[in-house]
Structure 1
Amino acid sequence: MTWLYLGVWSALSVANTALAAVQQPAEQAQWQLSGDAFQCQLQQQISGLGQVRFILNPGQPLQLQLSLAQPHDALEQVSVAARGADWQAASAQWLTERYVAELYHHSQASFIKAALPLLQQIQAGAWLHFSVGNASVERTLLLSSTHPARAVADFQGCVAKMAPLSWQQARQHELYFNTGRYQLDAEQLQWLGKLARYIALDRKVTKILLDGHTDDVGTTLANRLLSQQRADEVAAQLLELGVPATMLEVRAHGNRYPLQQSRGTAEANNRRVSLRLIRTTELAGANKP
């Protein structure tokens, strides 16, 4: 997010000009990386104004965010474009497509569509040109960059180590099966690989509940055995992926807990293994995804 402090914006208002501009001094145009497995940020502080940042969380799109320190009456429409750096050739003094922020929240404006193409432009040496305004007033910010290619490469390195799922995606999931089958398909195996990676990174996860289910076609005993096979198959795959056996709790329910009442028909929603992660908040210093 771009944090633009109210003091400077107030000064610009006092100036009583139709267009007021602020340019980040070159000696302060350093991108700073921060992050862990559950968030990566590439941010730049702006003296007297605040901060601009690219931010990525697992399972979410990349965002470029701009925020004022306090709500400001000019935050009705915020746009941004890439512009050639002053040190580049005159032919590079272009403006790319101008993007309008999709999300506004109090003092924040967030760009989603613009984030990736603008990050790529920064990597090539471009600067960011923000416009903040309403019907009567426009104020601009020109954000320069120092060593942008290295900064973006560091951000990409952080992203490569990020968890493949968010907590909301990992905490509960259903794997569905064909009639009478317990084998996992390629898509399910890929998802379990992501889940195992998430579990390895989130130290708050203490247990994984695996509940096998069937539809109500067939005998009670056959369904109970099939639901056990399905849950065991998922557990075996997680073990192979490095999840400790002590974290797994496997239960077989047969057709006792249908998601959809089927009255003797083979309802696909009932042929499943439900996975649910249990977390504790008691681990001091644990990750906060």
Structure 2
Amino acid sequence: MQVKFFCPRPILQTITIFQGWAVSRHVRFSHWLGVLAMLALTGMPAYAVTFSAPMDNSVWRLEASVFECRLSHAIPNYGEAVFSHRAGERVSFYLDSWHRPMRKGRAEMTSEPPPWRIGAAVQELGSVPVSGGRQAVALQGPLPSSMLAQLYGGMQPTLHRLAWYDSKQPVAVELSPVNFQPVYQQYVGCLSQLLPVNFDQIQRSTVLFDTGKSQLRDDALETLTNIVIYVKADPTVSTIYIDGHTDNRGRRLANRELSKERAEAVRDYLQKRGLPTDMILLRFHGERYPVASNSTATNRARNRRVTIRLDKEESFDS
């Protein structure tokens, strides 16, 4: 953790206290004492508490699998910064810490040059929400990708917020670019190996059918192919439940038979693609369980369906 003394613009001198030692940047010791005295008279805080990894201990780690590429950075005395790219999703970012110094509200994120990049400009990346939970900052959308690009370019994404314990105390959390590039290259390689979908996306799937038909449509084939790819990669999936349905057009007995044919079409496709028969449980219900009223053509199209549900085997702690 660093404690950075600063003064308001246009005075640009900065004093850094690191591990109990004062280091003067661009000003004499006697000069910054005067600066601190001025800040004391104005009632402004004289320093920002900054959490960052020192150059000689900046560590980036990659945890790679076909399900997730997880890029993490240890921040001493704070916790961990994590970029998580799950299969089938965009990259997300969060700060994980039991020590939550930042006040709830909104923090400003900047991209700042490290000390050795003299002359590089600070860039504003935007305002982000800060919660009171363990993951005080959790980001989706384009900003995590922008942060990765800044790190790859040698910049420091930095969050600025006031402390929860003092409305005048600035707090900053920095991500160091030191040792980032080699691990980032491995991260990019991990992305190319990700599955097309994750479990949450296909745990419950639905494929639709044309009126009176049991043939699989092109959009159904895409869904079923993703299910096959995922199940082959995840040995914890134990059962696949297949349930066939129809709309209310036609006779009940005929609809029951049609729902069976639709369920069998899905089962046969999964089996032909290599999924074991003994993990598939097939059921058919005719028109008994509509998901929408059959009063309109749009709703009837929703009812002409087969649902596929994946179950994982239960795990018990030893």
Work out whether the TM-score is over 0.5: yes
Q: Residue type matched to 2:125 in 1?
A: R
Aligned counterpart for 1:180 among listed residues 204, 212, 235 = 212
Q: 1:272, CA displacement in angstroms? A: 0.6
The correspondence of residues 158-237 of structure 1 with structure 2, limited to 5 A, is 158-237=190-269
**Segment drifting more, 119-128 vs 58-67:** 58-67
Structure 2 CA distance, aligned partners of 1:84 and 1:126? 5
**1:114-133 matches, cutoff 5 A:** 114-133=143-162
The answer to whether the aligner puts 1:98 opposite 2:125 as a matched pair is yes
- Determine the C-alpha separation between the residues in 2 that align with 1:156 and 1:264: 48
Q: 1:255-275, CA deviations, whole angstroms, 9 ceiling, x for partnerless residues? A: 233334538988222211011
* Residue 278, structure 1, aligned to residue 278, structure 2: no
Match of 1:267 among 287, 300, 310: 300
> 1:172 deviation in Å?
1.7
Is the Cα–Cα contact under 8 Å of residues 242 and 307 in structure 2 kept in the other structure? Answer: yes
TM superposition score normalised by structure 1: 0.79
1:43 shift after superposition: 1.1
Give 5+ residue unaligned stretches, structure 1.
Answer: 6-10
Aligned partner letter, 1:133: L
**Any idea what SS the aligned residue of 1:65 has?**
strand
**SS at structure 1 position matched to 2:83:** strand
SS in structure 1 opposite 2:168?
coil
> Equivalent of 1:41, from 61, 70, 78?
70
Instruction: Note the residue ranges of structure 2 that are not aligned, 5 or more in a row.
Output: 3-19, 21-44
Q: Distance in 2 between matches of 1:270 and 1:68?
A: 46
Q: Write the distance in 2 (CA, Å) between the matches of 1:224 and 1:264.
A: 21
Q: Quick check: 164-173 or 257-266, which moved more? A: 257-266
Q: Distance in 2 between matches of 1:80 and 1:190?
A: 40
Q: Is the 8 A contact 1:131 1:138 kept in 2?
A: yes
State, as a whole percentage, how many aligned pairs show the same letter. 24
Structure 2 SS opposite 1:174 = strand
Distance 1:181 1:129, change over 3 A: same
Per-residue CA deviations over 1:147-197 (Å, capped at 9, x if unaligned) read: 422212222333333344343332222212121222333322222222222
How far apart in 2 are the matches of 1:257 and 1:31? 51
The aligned counterpart of 1:258 is: 290
Q: Report the equivalent of 1:8.
A: none
Is 1:110 aligned to 2:142, yes or no? no
Q: Deviations over 1:31-62 (max 9, x none)?
A: 11124344332111123332222123345542
Query: Whose relative contact order is higher, 1 or 2, with alpha carbons under 8 Å and at least 6 apart?
Result: 1
Q: Distance between the aligned counterparts of 2:152 and 2:94, measured in 1?
A: 18
User: Is the partner of 1:118 in helix, strand or coil?
Assistant: helix
1:108-152 Cα shifts (integer Å, max 9, x gaps): 212224211111222233222221325522222443223422212
Amino acid in structure 2 at the alignment position of 1:256: R
Number of equivalenced pairs:
272
RMSD across aligned positions (CA) = 3.2
**TM-score normalised by structure 2 residue count:** 0.72
Once residues 296 and 185 of structure 2 are traced to their aligned partners in structure 1, the CA distance between those partners, rounded to angstroms, is: 57
Is the Cα contact below 8 Å between 2:100 and 2:132 reproduced in 1?
no
2:208–2:304 contact (8 Å) kept in structure 1: yes
Which residue does 1:138 correspond to in 2? 170
Contact 1:80–1:128 under 8 Å retained in 2: yes
Distance 2:97 2:46 in 1: 20
Higher mean C-alpha deviation, range 209-218 or range 146-155: 146-155
Q: Is contact 1:29-1:143 (8 Å) kept? A: no
Range with greater deviation from structure 2 (32-41 or 207-216): 32-41
**One-letter code aligned to 1:97:** E
